[in-house]
Structure 1
Amino acid sequence: MKYKNNFFESVLSLCLVAILLNGCKNKEDKSSINVQEKPNIIFILADDLGAHDLSYSGSKYYETPNIDAIANDGVQFTQGYAAAQVCSPSRASLMTGQYTARHGVTDWIGAATGKKWGDYYNTKVMPPEYAHAIPEESITIAEALKQNGYKTFFAGKWHIGDEPHSPENNGFDINIGGWEVGGPKGGYYAPWRNPKLDYKYEGENLTKRLALETADFISTNKDEPFFAFLSFYAVHGPIETTQEKWSKYRNKAEAQGIPESGFEMEARLPIRNVQDNPIYAGLVESMDDAVGVVLKRLKELGIDDNTIIVFTSDNGGVASGDAFSTTNFPLRGGKGYQWEGGIREPYLIKVPMLKNTPKSIDYPVSGIDFYPTLLDLVGAKKDPKQIIDGVSLVPLLKGKPLDTRPLFWHYPHYGNQGGDPVSIIRKEEYKLIHYWEDGHDELYNLSNDPGEKNNISKKEDVIAKSLRVELDTYLKNMNAKIPEVYADYDAAKAAKKQQERRTKMLQRLEKQRKNFLSKDFDPNNNWYDSSLNTKD
């Protein structure tokens, strides 16, 4: 009997030990999972936001405390680039990790090409055809993450393919507001026109609504890894704001001193040279407010420490053409241009689970790098069928170096904003631009000439020739499409049009700028319907 009791006592003791060990193991495993579980990802993409349209990057006029918080808590890539100077190609590159010449979307979808372009615009060359959607065989970043167990969500501007090339058919489980168009049809205040997103009440703010939809998705899926892509229509035209925000920035411009002139001539069109547009400033702040909605929800749910946040833009700020909204000074040009103002972007990555990351990184990076970087950060496998031109930036985030590499751009089109058909290579501090109209090259040393004022192609002819060979080799390997000569080009007609831009257009823009800053400015009877919006 004693033996039997000892036996059961021994068994009981072993069971208790097992239970305790198992409990400890479970506790240990849970802790391990909390550290090693797949992080969430929020990718925030602004539309047409310039590199210097944010407080943290030097703007003394625009106010962006929420985006500044991402910059301050994360890593600022001071030489971050979009993959193109206009939206559709840049966005296709974000989705695929590929250069524009590879995926074939080289211009904004809807732009004219060939003789149709030449006959209407009377230019020296005719832009080539381009793909009107992400190639079907591509594995998008959403599809790659979905294959690795992520719930995927898209909200906002798509503009990289009409049906059947929608977000839903490119790896996103949910699509709120993403369709073929590139701007907010009907404006930023309801009633807007969007077949993928109806408004709830008149005067509703589209930018805030997209943020709220994203925040609600996060709440619903907080217990599983998610990839939320918040793609604002802001700050694309039409630029609109509330009367309250306009008044705030109108008064701020006056307090800072309003220059007599706000524009000068660039190569083809007038270009804005001062940040004092109160309507655009209000639109920028509304977008920043919306970013704050998402950041606040993350914190409320207690998952901010396990969520990677990316913030960037698809091309430079609109300094010329469109709404002539901002200036990218000290960078030259803006959206649609081949210079730094057209392709240099805010480029922020916040990775809370990585400790002691650098505050800022000067290594030149591109939109093509987000794809491999995010996969690397969450330990997701890359589909072997997908060619990726970008590189993982994780070594840089960990304070380690990366090898020097060239970056390429191929934009064989005319920008609506005044840019030229070009191909570009940047390697180390040098940037070479090849112009397809006449075949000439420009070379800039960005380390001492970020404003691209001094073309040193003749002075540094050895470097220029070497970079040109590398660029030509790249274009040949990519089988890149190039423009053709427009045989019916009328030089006299083009000169007359250019003269009108230097006089009538410049005068009209200055008059409009003064009107925006007038105390009596009233865009319509109800301020873009925004006065109806009591919930904004």
Structure 2
Amino acid sequence: MRYTFLISLAIIAFGLFSCEQEEQQAPNIVFILVDDLGWADLACYGSEFYETPNIDKLASQGMRFTSAYAASPVCSPTRASIMTGKYPSRIDITDWIPGQDPKGRKLLGPQDRNELPLEELTIAELLKAEGYRTFFAGKWHLGDKGFFPEDQGFDVNIGGNHKGSPASYYSPYHNPQLEDGPEGEYLTDRLVDESIAFLNAAKEDPFLLYLSFYNVHTPIQANKKHVDHFREKAIKMEEIGDQGYRNEHDGLTKLRQDNFEYASMIAAMDENVGRLMSKLEELGLDENTLVVFTSDNGGLSTLQNNRKAPTSNEPLRAGKGWCYEGGIRVPLIIKGPGIHANTESDEPVISVDFYSTIAEAVKVSKNKIPENDGTSLMPLLKGGTSLDRAALYFHYPHYHGSAWEPGAAVRKGEYVYIEFYDDEKEELYNIKEDISETNDLSSKMPDKVRELKAILNAFHANTGAQLPSDNPDFDKSIPSL
């Protein structure tokens, strides 16, 4: 009887220990970053033309954020912010690498970095120190040789290099970091094939899988599997011609989603997100994996020189390259342990937050986490409704092919303040009441303008933000390009 009692106690103790071990098991991290995916480019965010059943399913399994922002309206700065948890101006990567940098405009953009500094402790390096296997696939765009993913904490790099767009979405890829597949192989399929192979080999070790799609960045190259379906949808739509565009400063903004080639690229991306999620389920990893799905900036909806962009961010104003909502507001879905299914948050969040969020999910000791600008989203993911922070900031002191001119913006509460350095103009919007930013309140609320301008200036000073300078060779008599 005594031995039976002792054995029973041992079994109970072992069971309790096992449960405790399960509770303490570090979650896997799957981070999915889509290039140039607009806030309105998903069905679960309101698109009626694009079809995204797999991402919609992911949203139903976790939390969908309606007021999520990229730290920049262009790619490289946002990517740097995700890697470090720091605002782009603090890292001194404020333009896509290497940037446009025109010499014939009124202002000269600051000469920022062309690579993510090696002294920064990336999220991959942070997790690797915690025993994580780290895998990167897709677009990097944070530096050339010596600054590739494998130099920044990733054990494996599939396709990540200094370029911001693929030479082709079909093999041969002409990518020195990605061996060509069979002729006609689709890049997005290949990146997920490689990701699945990593999952199959991951076994017992916790892992960070960072999947950075090249989709839906230009070149707009139709996915052959899906394009006919969307071509038929587009044919059935009413012809609207030039009414499908409006002027945005010196650019044109697309007002309707009807590009069937772009739609096919979104469908291919969505299909591959579904493949990756299915593999997690098949391997029994889905219950203990934190999945983050987002974009690096707004959709490409606005271009200068009468060029026509592929997508529309309506009801948001403008798109990629702009500090209006269309350029910085992005989709964000997070699913994982303890996150209630089919939930939604309208709390403003930003890409600098992912670093602290992942660190808290993994339970990294606070003394190991570098000082950064982010706020962990775990309180929201666990049922909270708000975060304790002053404002969100956006600094883009460069010219861009979208017709954007150097400027910056800050969102505090329901108000957004934007300043344009070229024409020395200020704008103010109540983003809660006017999501399309059509009613400029700056002349009616000068006190609010002064308040937000002071907050933005303090941010510039705190982060060491570089500002554009006057161009001594600028000739006002020559029209700007």
TM-score, normalization by structure 2: 0.95
- 1:89 paired with 2:77, answer yes
Per the TM alignment, residue 218 of structure 1 is displaced from its structure 2 partner at its CA by: 1.2
Is contact 1:357-1:398 (8 Å) kept?
Answer: no
Q: Name the amino acid aligned to 1:164.
A: G
Counterpart of 1:21 in structure 2 is 9
Matching residue within 96, 99, 108 for 1:111: 99
SS in 2 for 1:480: coil
Match of 1:252 in 2: 233
Distance 2:297 2:476 in 1: 31
Distance 1:355 1:81, change over 3 A: closer
Of 299, 305, 319 in structure 2, the residue corresponding to residue 334 of structure 1 is 319
Alignment correspondent of 1:393: 377
Q: Shift of the alpha carbon at 1:358?
A: 7.2
The structural deviation recorded for 1:112 is 4.3
Aligned residue-pair number: 476
What is the CA-CA distance between 1:211 and the residue it aligns to?
Answer: 0.9
Q: Which among 187, 201, 206 is matched to residue 225 of structure 1?
A: 206
Equivalent residue for 1:124, pick from 97, 106, 112: 106
- Is the Cα–Cα contact under 8 Å of residues 339 and 381 in structure 2 kept in the other structure? no
Residues 29-48 of structure 1: matches in 2 within 5 Å?
A: 29-48=17-36
| Shift, 1:128, TM fit | 0.7
Find the aligned partners of 1:289 and 1:359 in 2 and give their Cα distance.
23
Deviations 1:408-452 (A, max 9, x none): 111110112111211111100001111111332111110111111
Structure 2 residue 256 is the aligned partner of structure 1 residue 274: yes
The aligned runs of 1:369-448 (5 Å cut-off) are 369-382=353-366, 384=368, 386-400=370-384, 401-448=386-433
* Equivalent residue, structure 1, for 2:216: 235
Work out the CA distance in 1 between the residues paired with 2:100 and 2:362: 40
Contact kept? 1:241, 1:279, Cα under 8 Å: yes
Deviation, 1:25, is: 2.3
Distance 1:280 1:319 in 2: 12
**Match for 1:395: what amino acid?**
P
Q: Deviations over 1:319-366 (max 9, x none)?
A: 123871101010001100110000000011112x21546711111000
Bigger strand share: 2
Judge conservation of contact 2:223–2:268 (CA < 8 Å) in 1.
no
For the Cα contact (< 8 Å) 1:45–1:314, is it kept in 2? yes
Stretches of structure 1 that go unaligned for 5 or more consecutive residues are 1-12, 498-536
Tell me, in whole angstroms, the C-alpha distance in 2 between the residues paired with 1:212 and 1:31: 34
TM-score, normalization by structure 1 = 0.86
Output one character per residue of 1:374-411: Cα deviation in whole Å (capped at 9) or x when no partner: 11122123455722101011111122232242111111
Give the aligned residue type for 1:47. Answer: D
SS in 2 for 1:312: strand
Say yes or no: does 1:183 pair with 2:156: no
In structure 1, what is the Cα distance between the partners aligned to 2:187 and 2:326? 27
Describe the shift of the 1:358–1:393 C-alpha distance in structure 2 as closer, same or farther (beyond 3 A): farther
- Kept in 2, the 8 Å contact 1:404–1:427? The answer is no
1:362 maps onto 2:346 in alignment: yes
Q: Contact 1:311–1:347 at 8 Å: present in 2 too?
A: yes
Identity, % of aligned positions: 42
Q: What code does the residue aligned with 1:419 have?
A: W
**Aligned partner of residue 336 in structure 1, secondary structure:** coil
What is the rounded CA distance, in whole Å, between the counterparts of 1:412 and 1:220 in structure 2? 44
Q: Kindly indicate whether residue 146 of structure 2 is the aligned counterpart of residue 158 of structure 1.
A: no
Cα deviation code 1:170-206 (max 9, x no counterpart): 1111111111111112x10111111111122000010
Residue matched to 1:469: 454
C-alpha distance in structure 2 between counterparts of 1:222 and 1:49, whole Å = 32
Secondary structure of the residue that 1:171 maps to in structure 2? coil
Task: Give the superposition deviation at 1:149.
Answer: 1.8
Q: 1:207 to 1:323 in 2, by over 3 A?
A: farther
Q: Is the 8 A contact 2:380 2:387 kept in 1?
A: yes
One-letter amino acid of the counterpart of residue 315, structure 2 = P
Between the aligned partners of 2:357 and 2:346, the Cα distance in structure 1 is: 17
Match of 2:190 among 178, 190, 209: 209
Q: Is the 8 A contact 1:358 1:398 kept in 2?
A: no
Contact kept? 2:252, 2:308, Cα under 8 Å: no
Question: How large is the RMSD of aligned CA atoms in angstroms?
Answer: 1.7
For residues 251-291 of structure 1, what are the alpha-carbon distances to aligned partners after superposition, in whole Å with 9 as ceiling and x for unaligned? 11222323233323221222211111011000110111111
Aligned to 2:286: 304
What is residue 58 of structure 2 aligned with on the other side? Answer: 70
> Contact 1:357–1:399 (CA<8 Å) still a contact in 2?
no
Question: Which of 44, 62, 70 is equivalent to 1:56?
Answer: 44
Shift of 1:18: 4.1
Unaligned runs of 5+ in 2: none
* Partner residue in 2 for 1:140: 122
Which 4+ stretches in 1 moved above 6 angstroms? none
Instruction: Determine the C-alpha separation between the residues in 1 that align with 2:252 and 2:42.
Output: 23
Secondary structure of the structure 2 residue equivalent to 1:79: strand
Equivalent residue letter for 2:443: K
Name the SS for the 1:494 alignment partner: coil
SS at match of 2:436: coil
The counterpart of 2:309, out of the listed 324, 327, 331, is 324
Structure with larger Rg = 1
| Inter-partner Cα distance in structure 2 for 1:273 and 1:366 | 25
Residue matched to 1:451: 436
Paired residue secondary structure (2:211): strand
Letter in 2 for 1:92: A
Q: Distance in 2 between matches of 1:175 and 1:96?
A: 18
Q: Secondary structure at the match of 2:419?
A: strand
Counterparts of 1:163-178 in structure 2, within 5 Å, are 163-178=145-160
Distance 1:63 1:358, change over 3 A: closer
Distance in structure 1 (CA, Å) of the matches to 2:135 and 2:3: 47
Aligned residue for 1:313? 295
Range with bigger deviation, 139-148 or 39-48: 139-148
Q: Could you say which structure has the higher helix fraction?
A: 1
1:345-360 equivalent positions in 2, closer than 5 A: 345-351=330-336, 353-356=337-340, 359-360=343-344
State the alpha-carbon separation in 2 of the partners of residues 355 and 439 from structure 1: 45
**2:183 aligned partner, one-letter code:** E
Question: More deviation in 231-240 or 383-392?
Answer: 383-392
